[in-house]
């Protein structure tokens, strides 16, 4: 029997909220349906109706009738893959049932029940752990980011002083972090005046989660424990179910983990930690390996009775078949919080054996600032021991920078590939098991929208905002107090616009360099090359043309065309010229700073050594 465990990323999440999209996409993939045909059918109430309220489920585990309150969700119409061989007639019957979000039929005779004949989905919700710990240790972004950058700078200086180039921190990482922190700090200060709730959502509940997992090891330990506890509970209750049906427990569960964003690094930590020897994990045999055991893995109750620790059985690690990561920041965590991952260098000091390596599928979009290829972790000895990289791909399918990070859940084509490559166990043939190579990785319309937004529309937006403030300031109808507000808004708009344009261009240039290492079809290569030359030509010519326009005596006004007013058209002409001059400045500055830079780091030791040693 196969279980699909879904792990959410940053931000507040409710139990079973994340798994809904996965169930819907799998139902579509199982039927070969187009994008979104089953969206909206399955609700949170239908899903949570099977698992019960989470607190009640934890407290009781069984209802008064003796039935298990399961941690899994199961719906008619998404049959178990094993049925293809054991009962193909039943498999086809279940596969062709219309997907209404129905619970499996529970007949009086359990042998005729459809429970267990469908893929079971499990939602691993762990946001409450971060919410609880956030009250104790969360700081504003500029404070904790300053500490993070301080460590990275110190590491880089130390590596330079001992002439150990492999341990140096790539300069583009420090530059992006510095620019990003400056931009976020400015936005946070603005939100603190009028948008308190939005400030708390973005900077405490989202960015705060990033800080917590990287900076506070107890949060990490608690989250890993939650992961282990959940699968141990599935194992226990699956066994009870088999016994109640009078079936042998030889049919042990197998698992696919689908994780997103921060959930990918937590899941990877959990899988690695499940492979740590029991005596090291429980602390009975203190390890000299850095980072082990994980602080926070055991509760205070466990710590008070060291002789009788609540040991969690992790033999299920042998049956983890697939690990799917979406928009994963695993490599970024190994870069920024390298001190947490030194244990990956010498797995022979702590590992147990594993019969079959876990298949790893990593997917990311080019416009996702969080995820990318996992070049660093795959080179660590621990990863090489326990994982087999099946797919590690960066595609260009989504159109909005940043928003792409949460678009994976809606991508039916992507989940068709995930379904066929992991859960669906038919032989790999073109007819029955399409791989991701057959899915359109590059969408021209999305790529052109990216270029247009980064280099032209975003600057135009800030130009328009600054123009409105300027018009407001110079209008004789407004009071002195209004003019003061207009000056403040104008100054803020110019400052924020400069930083946003800079971070977008810097991020785009890093993405471009990364994309050069990707294998591409001929059409994509030609398009990217042509667009690249067009950008190099237009970026310097546009501000020159606009400057000529600003000093010319032409009668028409761009300001009038845009409908932004005509009080001081000459001054406003200079606004638009300076805006795109700013774009040109950041464009060529970033290209100069990144010249000769290798974005992909090919030496995991550069992030595993806290005390670099000079080369021999």
Question: Mean pLDDT of all residues in the chain?
Answer: 77
Burial of 68-81, coded b for 16+ CB within 10 Å and e otherwise, reads bbbbbbbbbbbbbb
Enclosing H/E stretch for 459: helix 458-474
72-79 and 358-365 strand pairing: unpaired
Taking the C-alpha atoms of residue 136 and residue 274, their distance in angstroms, rounded to an integer, is 28
Taking the C-alpha atoms of residue 394 and residue 375, their distance in angstroms, rounded to an integer, is 12
The CA distances from residue 393 to 37, 365, 515, in Å, are 26, 8, 11
> 57 falls in which pLDDT band (50, 70, 90)?
low
The CA distances from residue 477 to 359, 471, 473, 484, in Å, are 68, 11, 10, 14
- Compute the average pLDDT of residues 43-48: 83
- Compute the average pLDDT of residues 254-274: 95
Percent of the chain whose pLDDT exceeds 90: 16
**Amino acid 40: pLDDT:** 76
**Cis amide leading into 318 (omega within 30):** no
387-395 and 358-365 strand pairing: parallel
Residue with the larger pLDDT of the pair 239 and 165: 239
The CA-CA-CA angle for residues 520, 377, 20, to 5°, reads 75
pLDDT digits (tens, 9 = 90+) for 406-431: 889 988 888 988 988 888 765 544 44
Residue with the larger pLDDT of the pair 297 and 258: 258
Taking the C-alpha atoms of residue 121 and residue 80, their distance in angstroms, rounded to an integer, is 11
2-7 and 118-124 strand pairing: parallel
**Amino acid 269: pLDDT:** 96
Taking the C-alpha atoms of residue 355 and residue 155, their distance in angstroms, rounded to an integer, is 38
pLDDT digits (tens, 9 = 90+) for 58-83: 555 554 444 557 788 888 888 888 77
Note whether 390 and 359 are within 8 A (CB): yes
Taking the C-alpha atoms of residue 277 and residue 285, their distance in angstroms, rounded to an integer, is 9
Lowest mean pLDDT among 86-90, 318-322, 538-542, 548-552: 548-552
pLDDT surpasses 60 at 254: yes
Nearest to 86 by CA among 317, 389, 425: 425
Give whichever of 202-216, 367-381, 512-526 has the largest mean pLDDT.
367-381
**Amino acid 8: pLDDT:** 94
Give pTM, 2 decimals. Answer: 0.83
pLDDT surpasses 80 at 323: yes
The CA distances from residue 499 to 275, 487, 493, 507, 572, in Å, are 44, 19, 10, 12, 21
Q: And the tokens for 606? A: 């550069």
**Amino acid 616: pLDDT:** 37
**Amino acid 402: pLDDT:** 72
Taking the C-alpha atoms of residue 125 and residue 272, their distance in angstroms, rounded to an integer, is 19
pLDDT digits (tens, 9 = 90+) for 183-207: 777 777 776 666 656 556 566 666 7
Nearest to 294 by CA among 316, 268, 327, 264: 268
Note whether 446 and 103 are within 8 A (CB): no
- Compute the average pLDDT of residues 389-402: 82
Q: What are phi and psi of 372, to 5 degrees?
A: -175, -170
Residue with the larger pLDDT of the pair 559 and 274: 274
Lowest mean pLDDT among 34-43, 362-371, 427-436: 427-436
pLDDT surpasses 90 at 279: no
pLDDT surpasses 50 at 602: no
pLDDT surpasses 80 at 270: yes
Classified as helix, coil or strand, 364 is strand
Nearest to 580 by CA among 467, 435, 460, 482: 460
**Amino acid 63: pLDDT:** 44
pLDDT digits (tens, 9 = 90+) for 496-508: 888 888 888 887 7
Taking the C-alpha atoms of residue 172 and residue 153, their distance in angstroms, rounded to an integer, is 12
- Compute the average pLDDT of residues 231-235: 91
Residue with tokens 């109808």: 477
Residue with tokens 């590491």: 155
**Amino acid 91: pLDDT:** 79
Percent of the chain whose pLDDT exceeds 70: 77
**Amino acid 614: pLDDT:** 39
**Amino acid 567: pLDDT:** 47
pLDDT surpasses 70 at 612: no
Q: What are phi and psi of 7, to 5 degrees?
A: -120, 120
pLDDT surpasses 80 at 444: no
Q: What are phi and psi of 123, to 5 degrees?
A: -100, 120
């Amino acid at each position: 029997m196969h279980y699909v465990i879904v792990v959410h990323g940053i931000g507040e999440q409710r139990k079973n909220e994340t798994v809904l999209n996965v169930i819907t996409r799998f139902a579509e993939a199982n039927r070969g349906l187009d994008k979104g045909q089953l969206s909206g059918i399955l609700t949170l109430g239908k899903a949570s109706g099977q698992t019960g309220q989470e607190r009640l489920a934890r407290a009781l585990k069984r209802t008064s009738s003796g039935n298990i309150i399961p941690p899994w969700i199961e719906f008619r119409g998404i049959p178990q893959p094993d049925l293809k061989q054991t009962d193909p007639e039943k498999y086809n019957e279940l596969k062709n049932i219309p997907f209404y979000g129905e619970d499996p039929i529970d007949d009086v005779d359990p042998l005729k029940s459809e429970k267990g004949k469908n893929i079971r989905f499990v939602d691993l919700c762990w946001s409450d752990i971060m919410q609880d710990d956030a009250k104790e240790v969360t700081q504003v972004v500029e404070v904790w980011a300053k500490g993070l950058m301080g460590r990275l700078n110190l590491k880089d200086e130390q590596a330079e002083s001992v002439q150990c180039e492999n341990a140096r921190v790539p300069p583009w990482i420090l530059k992006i972090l510095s620019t990003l922190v400056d931009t976020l700090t400015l936005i946070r200060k603005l939100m603190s005046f009028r948008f308190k709730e939005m400030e708390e959502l973005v900077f405490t509940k989202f960015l705060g989660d990033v800080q917590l997992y990287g900076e506070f090891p107890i949060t990490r330990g608690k989250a890993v424990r939650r992961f282990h506890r959940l699968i141990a509970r599935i194992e226990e209750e699956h066994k009870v179910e088999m016994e109640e049906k009078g079936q042998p427990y030889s049919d042990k569960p197998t698992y696919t983990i689908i994780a997103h964003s921060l959930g990918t690094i937590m899941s990877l930590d959990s899988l690695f930690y499940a492979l740590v020897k029991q005596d090291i994990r429980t602390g009975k045999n203190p390890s000299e390996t850095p980072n082990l055991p994980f602080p926070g893995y055991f509760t205070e109750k466990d710590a008070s009775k060291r002789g009788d620790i609540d040991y969690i059985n992790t033999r299920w690690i042998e049956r983890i078949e697939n690990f799917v990561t979406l928009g994963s920041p695993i490599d970024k965590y190994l870069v920024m919080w390298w001190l947490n991952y030194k244990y990956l260098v010498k797995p022979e000091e702590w590992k147990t054996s594993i019969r079959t390596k876990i298949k790893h599928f990593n997917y990311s979009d080019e416009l996702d600032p969080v995820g990318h290829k996992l070049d660093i972790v795959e080179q660590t000895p621990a990863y090489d021991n326990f994982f087999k990289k099946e797919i590690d791909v960066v595609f260009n399918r989504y159109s909005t920078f940043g928003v792409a990070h949460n678009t994976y859940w809606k991508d039916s084509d992507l989940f068709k590939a995930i379904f066929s490559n992991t859960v669906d166990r038919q032989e790999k043939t073109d007819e029955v098991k399409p791989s991701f190579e057959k899915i359109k990785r590059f969408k021209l319309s999305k790529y052109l929208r990216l270029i247009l937004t980064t280099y032209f529309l975003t600057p135009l937006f800030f130009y328009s905002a600054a123009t409105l403030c300027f018009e407001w300031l110079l209008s004789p109808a407004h009071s002195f107090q209004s003019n003061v507000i207009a000056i403040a808004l104008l100054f803020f708009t110019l400052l924020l616009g400069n930083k946003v344009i800079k971070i977008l261009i810097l991020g785009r240039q890093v993405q471009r360099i990364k994309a050069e290492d990707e294998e591409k079809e001929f059409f994509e290569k030609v398009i990217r090359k042509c667009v690249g030359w067009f950008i190099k030509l237009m970026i310097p010519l546009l501000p020159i043309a606009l400057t000529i326009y600003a000093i010319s005596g032409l009668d028409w006004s761009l300001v009038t065309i845009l409908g932004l007013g005509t009080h001081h058209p000459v001054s406003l002409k200079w606004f638009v010229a300076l805006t795109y001059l700013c774009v040109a400045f950041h464009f060529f500055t970033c290209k100069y700073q990144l010249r000769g830079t290798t974005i992909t780091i090919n030496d995991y030791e550069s992030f595993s050594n806290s005390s670099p040693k000079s080369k021999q």
